[in-house]
Each structure stands twice: as structure tokens, then as C-alpha cells.
Structure 1
Amino acid sequence: MKLADLAQNGIEMEKQVPLSKYTFTKTGGPAEFLAFPRNDSQLRKLVITANENNVPLTVIGNASNLIIRDGGIDGLVIILTKMEKIKVKGNCVIAQAGATIVDTAFTAAHHGLSGMEFAAGIPGSVGGAVFMNAGAYGGETCNVIQSVKVLTRAGEYKNYSQAEMKFSYRHSLVQENGDIVTEAAFTLKKGNKSKILANMNYLNALRKYKQPLEYPSCGSVFKRPAGHYVGPMIIQAGLQGKQIGGAQDSTKHAGFIVNKGGATATDYLNLIHLIQKKIRSSFGLDLQTEVRIIGKPND
């Protein structure tokens, strides 16, 4: 079976779709094939068909911490956002990879479960949060993970325990082995629903005050070097507000790069490289990107 035939099997498929429609930066070139599986069976069929036809495979969640180069992505791109079911069993919340981590955190809160408050404003998917070990305000995904269900690139489902996931700062096992996160189980603690929600609302208000949410962005661009904060270094280097094309280092939070209008992925990357070069020369530090950068440059 070829990829084009999968649409006749009930799988939502498109061709040559601009991925700027889906990224939080509103940039990115086209996907050769784009698919939106709704369940494990459809996802497995897509992976196996790509394997059988030697088609490159890229899997994306909510595309909130992602830059896709302007040349787009060859082969098959799978977006998991339609695999979004969330269920609660006792002190455990089980969410499919395409569910947002925000919805998962609020579902937990409404059931009087505490531990995911830190994720109240993280815009990514559950799969992306696991992949990146996303964190904010002193909390990290790894702290509440019980287990992770994945689909291997060979088309086999398996489960990893929290310990097996090799979590560290913005890192997990699936970054190394290419497994596709399909579901995560979070172990939480009973708490006071009103207090949990009040804390989440406070963190969201803080985020709105500090971050440039009024513009498209990919969130925090750089990993934090040990003993340093990225935003103040960018300010000291004189680059806050620096703009290349439509991409600007935010005047509200220097650790963010925003799309002021008409930005391309190339604008973003040129500004990232400029900041890295300036921080290296000013502070002797090599800034590593937290945002994932994928795809091919424009020809």
C-alpha cells in the first residue's frame, strides 16, 4: 500500500501543505504528505506504510516549540493533535500524545489532583512535553510521569517506566531512539481543587505578564546554561529588540523571538545565530537551542 492510498482507508491526508498553518511561529515550508491519525491503529498503519515505501517520517505534536525551515519536510509528516483523549483513574491521569499539556493539567485540577500546576501555561502537547521533558516554574514533566507508551519506528507498541525514559533537562530517551510517544500516564496527589486552580490561574497571569503572548513565537528559544539566565545576557549584549526580517528578539522577554509580521523560518534562524555568536564573544558561552529545528532550507 502507498501513502496516497491511506486516504481511502479513512485516514485524513493532505499533500504539499504549508506547515506555517500549524507552527506557533506561523513559519515553515510545506509537508510533502501530511496526516492526522485519530487512533493507535491509524498511526501504526502510517508508520508501517512509510517504512514499506522507504518514505522519510517526521512526527509533530502541537508545534509550539518548533521551527520548520522554509524548504519544508520531504516524505510523511504526522501531526498527532487529533489523538487527544484524556482520562482519570484514581490518582492517575492518562493522556494521549496529541492532548495539550494544559488541558491535561486542568483535567487533573478539576479532579482535585495536584502535581501538574507548573504546566498550566505550557502550550505544547503531552507527547512534546514528554519528548522535551518540558518544565516551568520549578516543575518538570519527569516529576509526575508514571509511564510512557510509544510506537517504535518498526511499528511495535511498548511501554517505558519513568526510570527507563532517561529524563534530564529538556531531554528524554525518545530523543535518542526515535520512538513516537502515543500516551503518557501521570501519577498525582490528592489536593484541594480550589487551591490547585488558584495556583494555576496565578501562574498563567504571571506568564501573561512576563511573556510576549500577543505575538506568534516558539516560546523560550534557548536552554539555560548552568549558572546563567539567557534573557539578561541578551540584554547585556545589546540584542533585545534586534530584528531580522519579521523576526524580533522580544522587547518584553529577551529569551523569546517573536514574529512581528511576515517572518520566515530563515529570519528566525539568522537571528538565533546572531544571538549565539554575540553571547559567545561577550560571555564565552555556547547557547544551545531549546526549540527544535527541523526541515530543509529553501533551495
Structure 2
Amino acid sequence: MKLFDLAKEGIEIKQQVPLSKYTFTKTGGPAEYLAFPQNQTELQKLVGAANADQIPLTVIGNASNLIIRDGGIDGLVIILTKMDKITVEDQTVTAQAGARIIDTAFMAANHGLSGMEFAAGIPGSVGGAVFMNAGAYGGETCEAVASVTVMSAKGEFKTYTNEEMAFSYRHSLVQETDDIVLSATFELKKGQKSEILAQMNYLNALRQYKQPLEYPSCGSVFKRPAGHFVGPMIIKAGLQGKQIGGAQDSTKHAGFIVNKGGATATDYLDLIHLIQEKIKEEFGLDLETEVRIIGKPND
């Protein structure tokens, strides 16, 4: 396999690694092959080797808004968290895909740049935030993005403008392509560092008060249907606190599903499907998942 030729170049390829070690839910089956590229050159070589070996390729970031099924993922899984450089120039901040969006927001704040306060508590990576157009407390990633640099499945580089990214609610262009987000540049405004940090600290305190951060979870599970809030519907349907295996609909915030101990991805998915069925029955609405679900079921 050409994939393992990369070991001669210092690129480590691990085999049969449980992805539960990396997901925020602490669930998920193994990756057949797993690599953590240090830079774009290593990433390009890994993508090229996967193409040459004709094996499936899956790229993930901080795995905070992700459920990986218990059967794991065939082929090569690339986790980008070691590609985490953040730079500031004038009123722009450029962050590699593996950088945490939280760290990017605080870097901006510490340089007196405003526009990313909403991201103070979002645990995902910059690549994941761009991919999902992540948002919180009235702000969305698309409002700050100036451009996004990607690599195609063939290893070619391209930069998209904000308009070309076709952002919408929890959506971006790269959900429809094989492009891998490499970095994003954020265009921000000058502000008072103390005021920016105060707002970010306030939002984080609010998050700690409202969200079940004491347990592993994938964050908000469902997209918000127009004109409705998911949490209150789940409560009215009598499902808050409902538990399947180790997965529980949170008693603190009904829009979250937490791992109370020993949960499997199947527990999560069974509870998600139960909630979807009950909400459809009670309210006539089809709840879509915000969390990304990938991988294969257990054999």
C-alpha cells in the first residue's frame, strides 16, 4: 500500500484506533487507518496515497458535533487538529482548519478585534465551524468569514469567497463537494479588548448555566425548525430525561443528548430516532439532525 510508504517520510499511520477517544460523545467504532497530518504538505500526501490505494477517505476536525456509528469507518480517517496555526494581520484573523474556533475567537479578542464573540463557547474546529456554518447566541460563522481555502479530493488548492461558500443555516458549499477545508480568514472590526472579552465571558457563563457541560455530548442535536424551539417540544412530548442505554435526553437542556456513562453510538441514534418519531406524531414536524452522523453500523 502506498499509504504505508508515507511512514518513511515520518507520517504515522495508525490502524484500528477507537474513534471514541476523539469524539465529544465518547462513542464511536474504530478507524481502519488513522493519521494526524502536521501541515498541508502531509495532508496532500495522505490524500494522494488514499487515492492511489483507492481507499475511502474521511476528514474530521475536533469531532464535537459528530456521531460515529459503532461499526467505525473504513479506509483512512484524517483528523486535522494538529493543523492549528492562527495568525493576525490588521483586522483579519486566519486560522488553519484544525484550530479551535474558541481559540480563534479569543485570539481576535486579545488583539482588540470584534465579530467572533458568538464563538466563545463553540467547541468545534475552524474547519468544522465553516463546514456547518456553526452559530450560537445570535451569531454565525458566515458573518465573520471573508474567504476559505480548501483542497479538493484530487489534492488541488482553491480559495472561495464568502459568497461562493453559499452559507445558510447550518450549511455551506463544502457539504456538497469533496473539498477539505484548510483554513479560513475572518474579517473583523476594531473594538475595545475589555468589552469584547467581557461579552465572551458573559456568553460562556450563560452556556455553563444552560447547557449540560458536565457530561459528554455532541452539543445541540437537532436543527431548529422555523417558528419552533426543539427543547420545549421535547419537554411537551414527555421525553426530557428519557434514557436508552447510557444516552439520556438531558434534564438540564432537552435539546442535548448526554452520555451518562457507557453509552454507545447506537444508544444515541436510537434515542434520536425515538425523539424524531414522537415529535412527528405530536407536532407533525420532521426534526433534522444538526449533528453529523457518519460511519457504519456494527456488524
Q: Note if 1:298 corresponds to 2:275.
A: no
Q: Note if 1:64 corresponds to 2:52.
A: no
SS of residue in 2 equivalent to 1:24: coil
Q: How does 1:108-187 map to 2 (within 5 A)?
A: 108-187=108-187
Q: Could you say which residue in structure 2 is the equivalent of 1:28?
A: 28
Q: Note if 1:46 corresponds to 2:25.
A: no
**Displacement after TM superposition at 1:3 (Å):** 1.2
Q: Could you say which residue in structure 2 is the equivalent of 1:232?
A: 232
Counterparts of 2:29 and 2:77, CA distance in 1? 12
Counterparts of 1:101 and 1:284, CA distance in 2? 35
1:210 is aligned with what amino acid? K
Counterparts of 1:210 and 1:16, CA distance in 2? 37
Q: How does 1:183-222 map to 2 (within 5 A)?
A: 183-222=183-222
1:251 is aligned with what amino acid? T
Comparing 141-150 and 9-18, the one that deviates more: 9-18
Q: Could you say which residue in structure 2 is the equivalent of 1:97?
A: 97
Query: Which whole-Å deviations, capped at 9, do the CAs of 1:109-151 have from their partners, x for residues lacking one?
Result: 0000000000000000000000000000000000010000000
Q: Could you say which residue in structure 2 is the equivalent of 1:277?
A: 277
Counterparts of 2:160 and 2:260, CA distance in 1? 41
2:63 is aligned with what amino acid? A
**Displacement after TM superposition at 1:276 (Å):** 0.1
Q: Could you say which residue in structure 2 is the equivalent of 1:75?
A: 75
| TM-score, L = length of structure 2 | 0.99
Counterparts of 1:216 and 1:267, CA distance in 2? 14
Counterparts of 2:231 and 2:249, CA distance in 1? 10
2:222 is aligned with what amino acid? F
Query: Which whole-Å deviations, capped at 9, do the CAs of 1:213-257 have from their partners, x for residues lacking one?
Result: 000000000000000000000000000000000000000000000
1:24 is aligned with what amino acid? F
2:252 is aligned with what amino acid? K
Counterparts of 2:8 and 2:244, CA distance in 1? 44
**Displacement after TM superposition at 1:27 (Å):** 0.1
1:200 is aligned with what amino acid? M
Counterparts of 1:89 and 1:12, CA distance in 2? 33
Listed as ranges, the gaps of 5+ residues in structure 2 are none
Task: State, as a whole percentage, how many aligned pairs show the same letter.
Answer: 79
Counterparts of 1:221 and 1:47, CA distance in 2? 30
1:197 is aligned with what amino acid? L
Counterparts of 2:245 and 2:5, CA distance in 1? 40
| TM-score, L = length of structure 1 | 0.99
1:234 is aligned with what amino acid? I
**Displacement after TM superposition at 1:12 (Å):** 2.8
Counterparts of 1:7 and 1:260, CA distance in 2? 39
Counterparts of 1:6 and 1:239, CA distance in 2? 49
Counterparts of 1:63 and 1:12, CA distance in 2? 20
**Displacement after TM superposition at 1:8 (Å):** 2.2
Counterparts of 1:227 and 1:161, CA distance in 2? 31
Listed as ranges, the gaps of 5+ residues in structure 1 are none
